[in-house]
Amino acid sequence: MSVLGPDQIYQLLRHLTSPVVAITSERDGKRNGMISDSAVRASIAPTVPRVSVYIHKFNFSHDLIFDTGRFVLHLLRDDQFALIHQLGFASGRTQDKLAAVPHHLGMLGAPVLDDCYAFFECRVVNVMDTGSSTCFLGDIVTVGHGAGADGAPRGNAMTAPYFRAHMPAEWRAEYERLLRAAQQYAAERSRDIRAVIWRGLEGGPAS
């Protein structure tokens, strides 16, 4: 068996990243959005549609979602680079990132972006602490898409490899710098896993 270095392992693990999605949230009138490539389908039962997503604790979105128990996950089209830059390269702690992004509040009260490939409004039903991040398990309560005139989704969904290969060259240095900072944060905290019982589950397993 060959022994791989951390960089080679990281490159292999990149095959397990998700499409690039926008995650929105709202708390006390404050609306926010971020970008993730760690969102996956978390149920094969069509009658129990679920997703999961890992969000670092240093992100503002983490606290908004943890405190409210709701988020909206948006698949993006592969031409939505500007939105990824807007939401994924700066924090909503210091600016209103959705101010110029057309959206409305969905049925759970979190922002739904008008322009996307598809969206899933989610209610958090459980969480897992990883030390540096929280994995949120969300029940999908409603689904829609940024429809074209015929009511069908337009274009293709943005994948992580496509984003990395085609992002504007002037963003790459900043992207790498933010990624290294997040990796450092994760390296320092990932062994410090806490036992977290999601509210609503305190009484034990649902019958």
Ligand X SMILES: Cc1cc2nc3c(=O)[nH]c(=O)nc-3n(C[C@H](O)[C@H](O)[C@H](O)COP(=O)(O)O)c2cc1C
Q: What tokens were used for 123?
A: 């209610």
Residue 124 CB, nearest distance to ligand X (Å)? Answer: 15
Residue 117 CB, nearest distance to ligand X (Å)? Answer: 15
Residue 202 CB, nearest distance to ligand X (Å)? Answer: 26
Nearer to ligand X, 90 or 118 (CB): 90
* 70-75/133-144 β-pairing: unpaired
Nearer to ligand X, 60 or 66 (CB): 60
Alpha helices in the chain, H assignment, sequence order: 6-13, 60-68, 81-88, 160-166, 172-189
The answer to whether 154 and 128 are in contact (CB under 8 A) is no
The answer to whether 117 and 174 are in contact (CB under 8 A) is no
Q: How many CB atoms lie within 10 A of CB 164?
A: 14
Residue 99 CB, nearest distance to ligand X (Å)? Answer: 13
Nearer to ligand X, 56 or 74 (CB): 56
Nearer to ligand X, 147 or 196 (CB): 196
Q: Give the binding site for ligand X (CB under 6 A).
A: 20, 32, 34-38, 54-56, 59-61, 84, 88, 90-93, 133, 163
